[in-house]
């Protein structure tokens, strides 16, 4: 925006306003959490800044999970063992630089597009349209980001 480069005049008000928003999100870790979701890299355990990482899932992992899914229970017979052995496809969180498999056929969400609870809710609505969502651990991911665990 051109007005942001102007040192004085109407533009400076805009700069001040945006700086106030930035300082609100850096008051304390607790305050920051209210505004922004923190994504932690599974490889280096450090937070991921916008533009440097993603939430992703490997389609091959989804295919594996769907193939291994225990059969629907019939009558009174539920194969608990099969369910306990079953692992949903795993949503991974990585810095691009830490991603162990850059060539994987992944479904990718950049962290800057999932930085707030509202955006994560939007992704959840979108992903609920996918037949494969139930074969993944998306529920765990949103429970974690909701602070439920």
Does 55 interact with Zn ion (rule: CB under 5 A)? no
Instruction: Give the nearest distance from C-beta 3 to Zn ion in angstroms.
Output: 36
Q: Do 136 and 91 meet the contact criterion of CB atoms below 8 Å apart?
A: yes
Q: Where are the alpha helices (DSSP H) in 25-128?
A: 29-35, 59-68, 80-85, 117-127
Q: Report how far apart, in Å, the C-alpha atoms of 76 and of each of 42, 79, 81, 85 are.
A: 40, 10, 15, 20
Whose tokens are 């992944």? That residue is 106
* Shortest spacing between CB 121 and Zn ion, in angstroms: 26
Question: Quick check: 43 binds Zn ion (CB under 5 A)?
Answer: yes
Selected binder of Zn ion within 38, 44, 82, 121 (CB under 5 A): 44
- Contact between 38 and Zn ion (CB under 5 A)? no
Instruction: Name residues contacting Zn ion, limited to 86-145 (CB under 5 A).
Output: 95, 98
Residues in touch with Zn ion (CB under 5 A) = 41, 43-44, 95, 98
């Amino acid at each position: 925006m051109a007005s942001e480069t102007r040192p004085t005049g109407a533009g400076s008000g805009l700069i001040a306003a945006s700086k106030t928003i930035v300082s609100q999100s850096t008051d304390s870790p607790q305050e920051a959490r209210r505004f922004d979701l923190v994504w932690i890299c599974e490889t280096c355990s450090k937070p991921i800044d916008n533009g440097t990482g993603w939430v992703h899932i490997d389609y091959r992992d989804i295919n594996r999970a769907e193939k291994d899914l225990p059969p629907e229970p019939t009558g009174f017979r539920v194969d608990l063992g099969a369910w306990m052995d079953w692992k949903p496809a795993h949503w991974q969180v990585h810095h691009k630089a830490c991603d162990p498999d850059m060539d994987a056929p992944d479904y990718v969400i950049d962290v800057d597009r999932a930085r707030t609870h509202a955006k994560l809710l939007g992704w959840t609505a979108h992903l609920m349209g996918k037949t494969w969502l139930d074969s993944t651990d998306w529920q765990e991911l949103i429970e974690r980001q909701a602070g439920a665990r």
